[in-house]
Structure 1
Amino acid sequence: MYDICTIGPISNDTIINADTTRCLPGGTAYYVANALQQFPLRQQVITVLEASDHALVEPMRVAGIDVHILPSHHTVSFENKYSADQSDPEQRVRHQSSPFSLEHMPALTTKLVHLGPLLSQDIPLALLETLAQTNRISLDIQGYLRDVRNHKVVYRDWAAKKQALPLVNILKANEMEMGVLTGQKSPREGALYLADMGVEEVVITLGKKGSLVYSNGTFHTVRAFSPTAVVDTTGCGDTYMAGYLAQRVQGVDIPQAAEFGAAMASLKVSTFGPFCGPPEMVESRLNE
């Protein structure tokens, strides 16, 4: 049995900063899986890729990650252009991948499924409903709020949320995504809204203000950790969730798991690409 199975497209990303341009794999499945590989957990990744891009996952396989590829007409491709302070990237979509197909999905035996759609069409509601029948579901809401218009990402509310959210055990959103999804300005009001919709654990990341987790009638306020340098913020939310979920599936309580995720995300900001440090590095950060 796997501890965590992450399902989502792996992307071909172009990251443009003030002084550098880099082409890197990306997407929730990529950042979460690489970060989780540092833990004593069994994990699986299910993704979609164009046949000519299968080499994108070879380093993951060499590292020991079990990657299952579903067919796609294209590999999703983003261009993220960042300002000097790494905030609010200008994002363009060059190509969209094919949706995940229920008929091509392998059988799952896992403690937790983490869904990481990058665009609204990636993981159909029917697949979510099927997965939820036999699995605990964690969801990064980001992709379900993203439409593509003239190659640009446009955020809008999730039309299927009334049917889908009661199926989700753990939901992660950043502050902006929370507002789009709930119509609330306050993270606490947004968390209550999502809990009322049926989500058991609501995780809202707030950047420099830390994060907030709501579960079973209790708010957990989590501090932020200042990075030593701001090099690349792409994948920071995914890194937070990798740390959080790694701790939760091992039985760690919510406050400790959220602090671990926050510390891990602060370390990722200082480097390009996914977090690849050992858990001891995160523990050291927690104790600073």
Structure 2
Amino acid sequence: MTLVVIGPVTKDEVIIESECKYKVGGATYFQSFVFEEFYEDYLAIVNCSDSSLIDEFPDLDKVRVILKDETHFFINEYPDGSNMDIRHQLSNFANIPILKGDLESILPDDIDAFVLNPLNRYDFPLETIEFLKSFNVPIFISIQGFLRLPDVKVNENYTIKLDNFAMLSDILRGVTSIFLDEAEANIIGTDFDVDEMVVTNGSLGSRIVSDNEIKIDAVKCDNVVDTTGCGDTFMAAYVSDRLCLKSAEKSAEFASLIASEKIHSFGPYNSEK
């Protein structure tokens, strides 16, 4: 049985104060390093125009590329290196949807669960979501991409604003878990037909909303180097534990620990750093 992780791989520019670095990114990229460590039977499916981007993944045998006409590009700027909770983002808002037909020939025969990582609301049309629901396995979705809209154009990219999405209730109906931060929860609320909502709040911790609410403290980190992909790391660690039948509370505590370890160094999670 295989965990299938789907979403764009990106070209990223990360600016921390005056220092700029270029790297591969995207939630599916960051999560693949966590799954490689804690849930080895996974398959990452990415969409982009540049297949060489997958060279940075931990195991190329576990990656499939859906070639499109564009690649997602993000600029992540952290103006204050002492407060990495503050981030300014720009994106090209690539319109490269993942379609049912893109997936039919590359999905494995036996699937444990799906993890879906939209980076904007073009990435997963409702038809694709309904197709994945037909497998009747757990589905974990990161919400942020569905809420993103282009705002002010800056050169070839756009600042990002967040707004509700009319089709969100249909997309989420029957989903196992959704992941979002407190700002996004304030936009969409918590009234959805899902088993649980996992709401993160950076250095202030997280909470799980289901039949009741469980609050989880963040694991303190005194050496914050790079928070890009921290939420994606948290989600992957949480999913890894949940699929091993751990409780929501234990899974969130484990995810907080792994996320704190990730931000000690630049780039994706690496247990050896």
Same fold (TM over 0.5): yes
Given the alignment of the two structures, is residue 181 of structure 1 paired with residue 191 of structure 2, yes or no?
no
- The structure 1 segments of at least 4 consecutive aligned residues displaced by more than 3 Å after TM superposition are none
Give, in angstroms, the shift of residue 265 of structure 1.
Answer: 0.6
Q: Does the alignment pair 1:88 with 2:95? A: no
Structure 2 matches for 1:128-143, cutoff 5 A?
128-134=129-135, 135-143=137-145
Q: State the superposition RMSD in angstroms.
A: 1.7
In structure 2, the partner of 1:218 is: 212
- Aligned counterpart in structure 2 of residue 103 of structure 1, from 101, 104, 118: 101
Aligned positions of 1:119-268 closer than 5 A: 119-134=120-135, 135-149=137-151, 150=153, 151-182=158-189, 190=190, 193=191, 197-215=192-210, 217-268=211-262
The CA deviation at 1:92 is 1.2
Shift of 1:66: 0.9
Q: Is the 8 A contact 2:39 2:240 kept in 1?
A: no
**Could you tell me whether the CA contact under 8 Å between 1:139 and 1:170 is conserved in 2?**
yes
Residues 93, 150 of structure 2: 8 Å contact kept = no
1 or 2, which has the higher helix percentage?
Answer: 1
Q: Please give the alpha-carbon distance, in whole angstroms, between the structure 1 residues aligned to 2:251 and 2:259.
A: 12
Aligned pairs, number: 262
Offset of residue 19 of structure 1: 3.6
Contact 1:43-1:65 within 8 A present in 2 as well: no
Q: 1:64 offset after TM fit, Å?
A: 5.3
Q: 5+ residue gaps in structure 1?
A: 183-189, 282-288
* Paired position in structure 2 for 1:13: 12
Cα deviation 1:218-238 (Å, max 9, x = unaligned):
322111111131111111111
Matching residue's letter, 2:79: S
C-alpha distance in 1 between matches for 2:67 and 2:271: 31
- CA contact 2:117–2:142 (8 Å) conserved in 1: yes
**Contact 2:38–2:237 at 8 Å: present in 1 too?**
no
Identity of aligned residues (%): 27
- Tell me, in whole angstroms, the C-alpha distance in 1 between the residues paired with 2:217 and 2:258: 12
Distance (whole Å) between structure 2 residues aligned to residue 140 and residue 95 of structure 1? 17
- The residue correspondences of 1:46-125 to structure 2 (distance < 5 A) are 46-50=45-49, 53-60=50-57, 63=59, 66-84=62-80, 85-94=83-92, 96-105=94-103, 106-108=106-108, 109-125=110-126
- 1:211 is displaced (CA, Å) by 0.8
Quote how far apart the aligned CAs of 1:83 are. Answer: 1.6
TM-score (norm 1): 0.86
SS of aligned partner of 1:167: coil
Q: Give the distance between the partners of 1:214 and 1:143, measured in 2 at CA.
A: 20
SS at match of 2:37: coil
Contact kept? 2:24, 2:56, Cα under 8 Å: no
1:175-209 deviations in Å (ceiling 9; x for gaps): 01111122xxxxxxx3xx2xxx2110210112222
How far apart are the structure 1 equivalents of 2:39 and 2:100? Answer: 30
Give how far 1:88 is off: 2.9
Unmatched 5+ stretches in structure 2: none
In structure 2, distance between residues paired with 1:65 and 1:267? 26
Structure 1 position 95, deviation (Å): 5.5
Whole-angstrom CA distance in 2 between matches of 1:95 and 1:28: 15
Deviates further, 103-112 or 262-271: 103-112
Q: Write the distance in 2 (CA, Å) between the matches of 1:20 and 1:36.
A: 30
Q: 1:260 to 1:65 in 2, by over 3 A?
A: farther
Instruction: Name which of structure 1's ranges 160-169 and 267-276 shifts more when overlaid on structure 2.
Output: 160-169
Q: CA deviation at 1:65?
A: 5.0
Q: The residue matched to 1:244 in structure 2 has which SS? A: helix
* Structure 1: distance between partners of 2:221 and 2:95: 33
Query: Counterpart of 1:227 in 2: which secondary structure?
Result: coil
Cα deviation for residue 97 of structure 1 reads 4.8
**Residue aligning to 1:34:** 33
Distance in 2, Cα, partners of 1:40 & 1:69: 21
